[in-house]
Amino acid sequence: MSRLRVKHAVALVAATLVGTLGVVSGPANASTGTFLRVSKTGSDVGNCISKPCATINYALSQAQAGATIKVSAGTYNQTVAISKPIHLLGMGVKRTILNGAGLDPGGSFYGVVYVGTTGGAVVVSGFTITNPFPYAYTGGEPEAVALIDQNSSDSVVITKNVISEGSSDPTAGTDFPIAIDTFKNAATTTISHNTITGTFQGALLEDNGPASVSYNKITNLISGTDTSTTPPTVYPGEGVFFLSDLSGSITGQQASHNRLSGYGGWGIIFEAGYNNGNCTATPCNGSIAGAVSHNQFALKGATSEGKGTSAIDMKADFAGNNLTASVTSNRGYVTSPSQAFTSVTGSGATSSVSQSGNNIKVKP
């Protein structure tokens, strides 16, 4: 089973600089606990309190740690880079839209919404986030939401949003778009009550701190085609993918009460090792521990390199890798040749996966 984690090396350099230095500057005129406003009729002058400003990044430049930025209804053709602890609140997914169409951040950050190292707590809620730009410097993989907070005492909450690929990328079928991508994100991360649609990967949690992915609707994902091979290789969509491929073990990875439906591909994946992406050692390091519980599946049949995909997949790749997980009370169905559950343990690797109360049927 292959995973397409090959394109982030250059982006990490830029992202690390952003997380350290910040991407917005200017006086922090709005005190902690205050409310700043952004609206379609605003202007980027003042402190965004007495009168609304026009762009979210300008509001961020005026906000101190702990402030709340409220974004009024409307469609904003903007990208957002968060480098301080704030709450960013829209008016609801049908009313406040962040549209990244045509906006190339130019190498300083990526994602329609980007969260770097903030030094505290960040909440992003109440938006439709769509049309991420396929940047050349990552070789593709447009991310709608990118989380790269490298402070383990920080927290990030992404909740009550619609996150979608949109329709502005003509190469979506070959550049592997991701709805939510955490990349060496050490912060405690909560992804809950979102609708995710139209991307290749729903949520990729790569070498993450403690993470909870819960009560999300993940639907209508797309397959991705690698045109560098002959014939081209087609990879079915991937719903929630927890990956550890660096030294040491990541723990506290949780997927619960999610609904995954309407596409042919993988449901929830745990993988320790993986010889592409961040790892430079041979064999690749990395161990992972967590739980998959109370998820609901309605997945179409799909094949990956001649083998059926699965609703739940557990894999420890290489010598020294360890995977520990509980898989409980998951329900639903997949269509053949997909499978309900798969587990692979490579030579010298170890796996401990307990199962109870699961009922995922395989339809012909």
Distance CA 210, CA 137 (A): 29
The conformation of residue 278, written as its DSSP 8-state character, comes to T
Sequence-separated (6 or more) residues with CB below 8 Å from residue 191: 158, 159, 180, 203, 211, 212, 213, 214, 216
Is residue 236, in this structure, part of any structural domain at all? yes
Is residue 153, in this structure, part of any structural domain at all? yes
Bigger pLDDT: 107 vs 113: 113
* Coil, helix or strand at residue 172: helix
Count CB neighbours of 89 within 10 A: 18
Distance CA 208, CA 251 (A): 9
Q: Which residues pair with 82 in a beta bridge?
A: 115
Contact 314, 237 (CB under 8 A): no
As for how many domains the chain has, the answer is 1
pLDDT of residue 21: 31
Distance CA 146, CA 189 (A): 12
Question: In angstroms, how far is the first alpha carbon of the chain from the final one?
Answer: 22
Count CB neighbours of 215 within 10 A: 16
The residue among 156, 150, 146 whose CA lies nearest residue 188 is 156
Distance CA 29, CA 149 (A): 24
Is residue 228, in this structure, part of any structural domain at all? yes
pLDDT band at 4 (very low <50, low <70, confident <90, very high): very low
* Coil, helix or strand at residue 54: coil
Domain span at residue 310?
9-23+67-363
Does this model's pTM top 0.75? My answer is yes
- pLDDT tens digits, one per residue of 288-319: 999 999 999 999 999 877 778 999 999 999 99
pLDDT band at 285 (very low <50, low <70, confident <90, very high): confident
Is residue 159, in this structure, part of any structural domain at all? yes
Distance CA 354, CA 356 (A): 7
Contact 71, 90 (CB under 8 A): yes
Average pLDDT over the chain, rounded to an integer: 89
Q: Are strands 307-308 and 303-304 parallel, antiparallel or unpaired?
A: antiparallel
Phi, psi (deg, nearest 5) at residue 14 = -65, -40
Alpha helix ranges (H) inside 134-264? 172-175
Bigger pLDDT: 38 vs 8: 38
Judge whether residue 139 has pLDDT over 70. no
Is residue 147, in this structure, part of any structural domain at all? yes
pLDDT of residue 303: 84
Mean pLDDT computed over 229-258: 94
Distance CA 227, CA 234 (A): 9
- pLDDT tens digits, one per residue of 338-363: 999 999 999 999 999 999 999 999 99
- pLDDT tens digits, one per residue of 78-105: 999 999 999 999 999 999 999 999 998 6
CATH (domain of 168) = 2.160.20
Is residue 104, in this structure, part of any structural domain at all? yes
pLDDT band at 20 (very low <50, low <70, confident <90, very high): very low
pLDDT of residue 29: 45
